[in-house]
Amino acid sequence: MTVGGIFLLVIGGWALSLTLHEFGHAFVAFKGGDYEVASKGYLNMDVRRYTDPVLSLVLPLLFLAIGGIPLPGGAVWINRWALRNRAFASWTSLAGPLTNLLFGIVLAVAVQLIPMPLTLLIGLSFLALLQIATFVLNILPVPGLDGYGAIEPYLSPEAREFGAKARPWAPLVLFALLFAVPAVGATFWDAVYWLYEVCGGDSYSARVGGGTFQFWR
């Protein structure tokens, strides 16, 4: 596999993980009582159902290329009023990040157990790292991210009102801190690499894969 092949592997894997993430949201929402997700076409693995070409693919890949932070990309419109209870509302939010975590673990373990060419190994290792990074990022309790969505049903009305107002700008502040404040970015990636190794990943291979993916740097 060439350098270009690794680049395409990561992009294709990212699109697949985006689909799995959003399907996870939709599947749990359907089980929880939001049957509209079926009529909206969310209960399938067609990435076109979950994406906007620019917001869901181009921008996340651009940020990934320049900084290595996998921004959230897809979207599933959930009717949370249709969900049976607060537990289903929480698990609907958690389903997406947990899908990324599971996908990352499967990739990390597969790389360790299955003999494969070096280029494929480092490419899949980097893709696995991105899944763990996506999990860590999305699980943060910041309005607009899935981690906040998981705790929102249990907050007071005043807190939920504040969260609704903060939702449009809170993720932007977080991303700005990750990019502009070295200590914040370093803490984030330290947590990502720690969890990645706990899940069985090889940090060295992932770093090499990331450097190969960003072949222009």
Between the CA of residue 104 and those of 17, 87, 109, 181, 197, what are the distances in Å?
9, 25, 9, 27, 11
| Residues 217 and 211: beta-carbon distance below 8 Å | yes
Based on the residue annotation, tell me whether 22 is a catalytic residue of this protein.
yes
Rounded CA separation 158/42 (Å): 32
Among residues 22, 36, 158, 197, which one is catalytic? Answer: 22
Give the pLDDT of the chain (217 residues) as one tens digit per residue.
787 888 889 888 988 888 899 899 999 999 999 999 998 888 888 777 766 555 566 667 677 766 567 766 667 888 989 999 999 999 999 999 999 999 999 999 999 999 999 999 999 999 999 999 999 999 999 999 999 999 999 999 999 999 999 998 998 899 889 888 999 999 999 999 999 999 999 999 999 999 888 776 6
Alpha-helix residue ranges (DSSP H) falling in 43-140: 59-67, 86-113, 118-138
Please name which of 211, 86, 199, 61 lies closest in space to residue 149, comparing C-alpha atoms. Answer: 86
